[in-house]
């Protein structure tokens, strides 16, 4: 290789090296510029987002609150995203609460339109509640069938809630009590069956549920009766200047410990109907529509209204009534035949029983009402009552009249005296309201009307169906 060629080659390598070095220098310079630009961009983005955060939040946030809480602290709800009934979002239908679109629609309605829709929902297949649950022992197929027949004729959607049987009661699993031996096993099981529903409601903060005993009976026109009741119940809450009860659930705007000065009636104005919660359950813990006795405490805190389904002649604490019904502040009930419970009431009852199970479930409720630990309202006469079998047809001998006080269950003896079957043939029913429940007042008791309604024929045809006309067997 010639010297000149070597020199030329070295020159070319030198130029290439110089160009590469210059490229590296430029790249480093550009890299610093890009870093500075990136930092500036990030800072500007943060500034814009912070400045317009509230506007963006209102634009993109979708509320999942399934129920408008009348009279509540709306600002607190917006800031905390309070959802009183989160599980209600998972389904629709009777008693379930609406979505954001329906709430927007309600805002455009007049008070008269809101009231009409509230009345309609209060007369739906769950009577305006999240659900209707009846507690029944697994062996009481007769009561299950009676429930099915009544629901079928009156258009109710009911769900069974398993009773707690005697063999499921373990002393170690029962709450403490300062009165050992006070409760029988059946009474413990009865309490636990109700407590299972309260526990489920408390865990999921469910909307109000109507709880029935398995021997509950009602008028065949129960839906129109409850629809009529609804407008008067709202009037009653306004009449007594009702405010929301203490709600200790997470982030509730009605927590009186965190919000000790709720808006007064004068500040909020009249309570408005809420079609998503027709019974305005934030105003009460318990609403009894089927007690067998009511105590006198607070009996003057009441509203009397006309109800054509009530036979005239009932007496409310010595005062003769016409075709009327009374909404009142409860003085303490006996029997849990039919009562609605809100999630605040469920939590209170669950706590009280967990701390000292010293009474049967209805007397536990009575004590809490009388001590004003529960905000409770009731009806006179009640809308629901207990049924029993007509006497003299062999069911008392079986212990079938009561699961708690009915005694030992056994079959009807072959030689049992059963004159009641004559009444069955004449009346075309085997059911009646319990004789010692004097406050009951049905116009058309569904079970008594079952033969006529379902068969489409009068009582006189019953004999042909049940007895052989030739032998009488």
Tens-place pLDDT, residues 380-406? 999 999 999 999 998 988 877 776 554
Instruction: Give CA–CA dist 431/447, Å, rounded.
Output: 6
Tens-place pLDDT, residues 399-418? 777 765 545 678 888 888 89
- Closest by CA to 196, choosing from 163, 226, 227, 169, is 163
* Range scoring the smallest mean pLDDT among 16-20, 27-31, 56-60, 386-390: 56-60
Cβ atoms of residues 128 and 207 within 8 Å: no
CA distances from 160 to 138, 157, 210, 436 (A): 10, 10, 12, 27
* Range scoring the smallest mean pLDDT among 15-24, 294-303, 347-356: 15-24
pLDDT at position 439 is 85
pLDDT above 80: residue 250 = yes
Q: Looking up tokens 């258009």, which residue turns up?
A: 155
pLDDT at position 1 is 45
What the block records as the tokens of 175 is 């709450």
Tens-place pLDDT, residues 164-211? 999 999 999 999 999 999 999 999 999 999 999 999 999 999 999 999
Cβ atoms of residues 99 and 66 within 8 Å: yes
Give 290's pLDDT tier (boundaries 50, 70, 90): very high
Alpha carbon 259 to chain centroid, angstroms: 25
CA distances from 196 to 89, 135, 186 (A): 22, 10, 15
Cβ atoms of residues 278 and 120 within 8 Å: no
Average pLDDT over residues 317-321: 95
- Closest by CA to 405, choosing from 362, 375, 450, is 362
């Amino acid at each position: 290789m010639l010297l000149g060629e070597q020199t030329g080659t070295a020159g070319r390598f030198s130029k290439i090296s110089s160009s590469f070095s210059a490229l590296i220098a430029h790249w480093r310079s550009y890299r610093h510029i890009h870093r500075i630009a990136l930092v500036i961009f990030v800072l500007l983005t943060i500034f814009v987002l912070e400045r317009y955060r509230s506007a963006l939040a209102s634009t993109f946030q979708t509320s999942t609150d399934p129920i408008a809480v009348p009279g509540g602290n709306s600002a607190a709800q917006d800031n905390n995203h309070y959802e009183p009934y989160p599980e209600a979002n998972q389904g629709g239908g009777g008693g379930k609460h609406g979505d954001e679109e329906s709430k927007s629609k309600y805002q455009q309605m007049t008070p008269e339109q809101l009231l009409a829709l509230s009345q309609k929902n209060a007369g739906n297949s769950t009577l305006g509640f999240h659900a209707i649950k009846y507690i029944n022992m697994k062996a009481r197929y007769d009561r299950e069938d009676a429930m099915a027949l009544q629901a079928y004729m009156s258009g109710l959607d009911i769900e069974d809630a398993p009773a707690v049987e005697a063999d499921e009661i373990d002393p170690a699993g029962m709450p403490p009590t300062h009165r050992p031996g006070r409760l029988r096993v059946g009474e413990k099981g009865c309490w636990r069956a109700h407590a299972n529903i309260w526990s489920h409601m408390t865990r999921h903060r469910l909307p109000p549920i109507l709880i029935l005993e398995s021997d509950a009976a009602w008028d065949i026109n129960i839906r129109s009766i409850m629809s009529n009741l609804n407008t008067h119940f709202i009037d009653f809450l306004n009449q007594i200047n009702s405010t929301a009860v203490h709600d200790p659930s997470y982030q509730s705007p009605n927590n009186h410990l965190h919000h000790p000065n709720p808006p007064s009636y004068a500040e909020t104005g009249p309570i408005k109907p809420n079609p998503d919660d027709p019974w305005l359950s934030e105003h009460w813990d318990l609403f009894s529509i089927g007690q067998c006795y009511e105590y006198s405490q607070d009996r003057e805190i009441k509203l009397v209204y006309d109800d054509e389904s009530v036979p005239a002649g009932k007496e409310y604490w010595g005062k003769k009534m016409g075709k009327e019904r009374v909404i009142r502040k409860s003085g303490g009930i006996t029997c849990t035949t039919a009562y609605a419970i809100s999630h605040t009431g469920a939590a209170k009852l669950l706590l009280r029983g967990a701390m000292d199970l010293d009474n049967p479930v209805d007397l536990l409720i009575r004590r809490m009402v009388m001590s004003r630990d529960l905000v409770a309202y009731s009806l006179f006469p009640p809308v629901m009552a207990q049924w029993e079998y007509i006497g003299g047809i062999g069911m008392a001998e079986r212990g079938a009249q009561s699961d708690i006080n009915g005694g030992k269950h056994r079959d009807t003896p072959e030689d049992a005296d059963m004159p009641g079957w004559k009444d069955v043939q004449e009346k075309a029913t085997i059911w009646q309201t319990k004789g010692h429940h004097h406050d009951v007042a049905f116009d058309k008791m569904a079970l008594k009307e079952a033969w006529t309604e379902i068969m489409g024929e009068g009582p006189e045809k019953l004999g042909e169906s049940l007895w052989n006309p030739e032998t009488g067997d």
